[in-house]
Amino acid sequence: MKIFHPLPGNVARILLAALLPIGMALPVTADMLPSTNLSGTTGLIDMPSGEQQPDGYLGLDHGRFGPITRNTLTFQITPRLSGSFRYVSIRDWNAKVCPPSCSGADGFRTYYDRNFDLRYKVLNEGVYLPAVTVGLQDFIGTGLSMAEYVAATKSFGPRLKVTAGLGFGRLGSYGAIGDPLGPRPLVTAGLGGKPNFGQWFRGPMAPFGGMEYQLSDKWTLKAEYSSDAYLDESVRRGTFDRKSPLNFGVEYAQSRMVHLGLYELYGSTIGFNVSILLNPDQRPKGGIGGPGPEPVKVRPAIAQSPDVWTTGWLTQPDAKSLLIDNMNRNLVRTGITVESLSVTADTAQVRFRNTLYDAPAQAAGRVARAMTQTMPASVETFEMVPMVNGMATSMVTVKRSDVEALEFAPDAGNAIRARTAVADAGGPLPDSATNPKAYPKFSWSIGPFAQTMLFDPRSPFQINAGVQLQGNYEIAPGIVLSGALTKRLAGDIKGSRFNGSTPLPPVRSNAAGYYVNADPDIATLTAAWYGKLGPELYGRVTVGYLEMMFAGISSEVLWKPVNKPYSFGVEADYVAQRDTNGGFGLASSNYRVATGFVSGYLDLGKNFTAELDLGRYLAGDLGGTFTLMRTFPNGWQVGAFATLTNVSAKNYGEGSFDKGIKMQIPLTWFLGQPTQSQRTFTLRPLGRDGGSPLSVNDRLAAVLHGYDQAGYDAQWGRFWK
């Protein structure tokens, strides 16, 4: 169905003529920051604009009007490219088209739809030219929200912006002025999840536009002309009455982070939007607190105190033990423990465990300060080796005289980095003395936990919440016993309509059975060995209850050069499915499977990393997963992944293939205090059995992340903190 309408009464032109002289009287700048629309993307009210958010920003939006609710997560991937995931719900979907017993899409009283968007800014705003963005909306969806557009936005002075654009798909459904690229093919939704290339920028093309005027730092007025006819929602299903293409609104900026909007929409309804815009690169509390560093102790000149520089201490039998004890007393407030020490007349190598700082550079800086306090004056070269799960990672080498000279120098961080080397740690030195108090070591924590089942059309948000007890016992370097026990305190997870809907083994689709029956739940209970197999070569073997759904053995080898942008790994696992009651038993199905992957990791520069995993998944399917992540210097990670295997879309089920969004948030960012704790989130539009990997704690790539040269460089500014 096509709807062609002329611009009603030239209202858009009247609004433009009224406000344009105001903007023309002001100097041409672009001081107004971009805002978001009801779809959670940069735009006006319901229409997009030609701008983008600042690089790296993460937006969370909740927009609602009439029967339509949109929850959107948007990430500004690069200065020009942004991506969005949106979950849309439309009430009264089948109220006027059929009785409640209808099937298929008409069987839902409230219809839910998942959208993915991409936007690319092809032109930055200049003195005379506007910012221009090309967008794909719901480009791998079922077609309900699918649209493409080209939008241009120009600032006239510091307060007025004007946007004009051309839309296709649903943004070309009202006031169309032709179809320059030919008719738009009908949507074949199928199981969804696949790009509909043949429809992009095809069919009726319609103009849209609007303007926004900033009354003050807090208040902004908006007006727009919409090219969305809402054919399904208004015309076919009557969920609301679209009387006019004009929308008006006012927005209030509570802060740079929080924006609120109230709108009169389509001549018939009121809407609102809540927008939260996060800058992962900027901590809410500013800097990081915690215990202050010890001052650098400067040695006296050798000419003034020659006795201090003698090396007679080398003959003292307990010299190394005393130095280890002195260092640990100096570091006791920092969560750093010296595990071993090798020392000669002029060089000291300290191998240490860091349990507090999420930046290896900050831990190295604290150790360097402690070494100036404790090492004899003749020791000029400091070698600092972080130990992670008993493995020596990299070695940071710095001259003591540089530490003494540069502590208060201008640009002290870059100055000391230019004189610091980062290399492979190698094996322990033969004359090393160990700290007998370093092992065994026990640690534990207790805190909240949550389990979620998302995007089931019958019940799109289900959650269990409770408490989790975790324990970690390091028997010796590289030998770790660990476990986690959870107890549910509240929840409403009941199940999913997708259970058993494909011929694949139910390796993930029966998750609800575990969430409901496993209470309390032995989530994990494992014994693990970690070791360094050779230069830049690491190994791991983990045995036990590896995750909620599988038990068995997992092993891997990782080659990770310290000064190269790439690394490679091999993993092999053999697991059996666990019983859903969360205890020690295995599933009655007796399902067992061998899985494994060959993995490649590449640092693409500019804080982007790529990972490719090729191998066999839990359901026995063969294929690969590609993951692209952006890592911020403070440890934030945001990215996306997609998995394709030899399972057909029909056998995989709705969604066609596995894909999703991944985020890792360091708690230091929230708390403003040093901690290595972090929270990892994986948002899948719909989790199924195909393309499902085993979940194992402390895989080598994650454990060793940040201990190469790039990792040190990213947070080197914290060396002196």
Which tens digit of pLDDT belongs to each residue from 672-704? 889 999 889 888 876 789 999 999 999 999 999
Low-confidence winner among 10-24, 282-296, 706-720 (lowest mean pLDDT)? 10-24
Same domain membership, residue 236 and residue 108: yes
What is the pLDDT of the chain when averaged over all its residues?
90
Q: For residue 631, is it within any domain?
A: yes
Contact 703, 390 (CB under 8 A): no
Host domain of residue 547: 441-710
Give the C-alpha separation, 36 to 47, whole Å.
9
Q: Report pLDDT for 503.
A: 86
Please tell me the distance from the alpha carbon of residue 531 to that of residue 542, in angstroms, as a whole number.
12
Q: Is the pLDDT of residue 249 over 80?
A: yes
Residue 3 resides in a domain: no
Q: What percent of the chain has pLDDT over 70?
A: 92
- Read off the CATH number of the domain in which 64 is found: 2.40.160.40
Q: Does residue 217 sit in the same domain as residue 88? A: yes
d(CA 37, CA 153): 14
The CA–CA distances, whole Å, from 263 to 20, 137, 222, 266 equal: 22, 22, 9, 10
How far is CA 60 from each of CA 63, 70, 381, 463, 534, rounded to the nearest angstrom?
10, 11, 49, 20, 45
* Structural domains of the chain, count: 3
Query: What is the per-residue pLDDT across 331-379, written as a single tens digit (0 to 9) for each?
Result: 999 999 999 999 999 999 999 999 999 999 999 999 999 999 999 999 9
The predicted pLDDT at position 499 comes to 47
Distance from C-alpha of 578 to C-alpha of 553, rounded to nearest angstrom = 13
Looking at the domain assignment, is residue 480 inside a domain?
yes
> What pLDDT shows up at residue 61?
97
Closest CA to 138 of 122, 168, 118, 165: 118
Put residue 315 in one of left, alpha, beta given phi > 0 → left and psi -120 to 50 → alpha.
alpha
Closest CA to 149 of 93, 88, 226, 70: 226
Residues 471 and 373 in one domain: no
Query: Which pLDDT band, with edges at 50, 70 and 90, does 2 fall under?
Result: very low
**Do 563 and 711 touch, CB atoms closer than 8 A?**
no
**Tens-place pLDDT, residues 346-358:** 999 999 999 999 9
In a domain, 90, yes or no: yes
Res. 1 pLDDT band, cuts 50 70 90: very low
Quote the pLDDT of residue 27. Answer: 36
Residue 31 has pLDDT above 60, yes or no: no
Do 446 and 549 lie in one domain? The reply is: yes
User: What ranges make up the beta strands (E) of 91-191?
Assistant: 111-123, 131-137, 147-156, 160-169
Q: Are residues 634 and 621 in the same domain?
A: yes
Assess whether 587 and 609 both reside in one domain. Answer: yes
Give me the CATH number covering residue 322.
3.30.300
Instruction: Grade residue 533 by pLDDT with cuts at 50, 70 and 90.
Output: very high
Residues 419 and 477 in one domain: no
State yes or no: pLDDT of 463 exceeds 70: yes
Question: Which pLDDT does position 188 carry in this prediction?
Answer: 62
Task: Give yes or no for residue 648 having a pLDDT over 90.
Answer: no
Domain boundary among 405, 437, 469: 437
Q: How many residues does the chain have?
A: 721
The rounded radius of gyration (Å) of the Cα atoms in the chain is: 30
pTM of the model: 0.89
Does 631 lie in the same domain as 523? yes
Assess if residue 215 is contained within a domain. Answer: yes
CA 348 to chain centre: 39
Residue 657 confidence class, pLDDT cut points 50, 70, 90 = confident
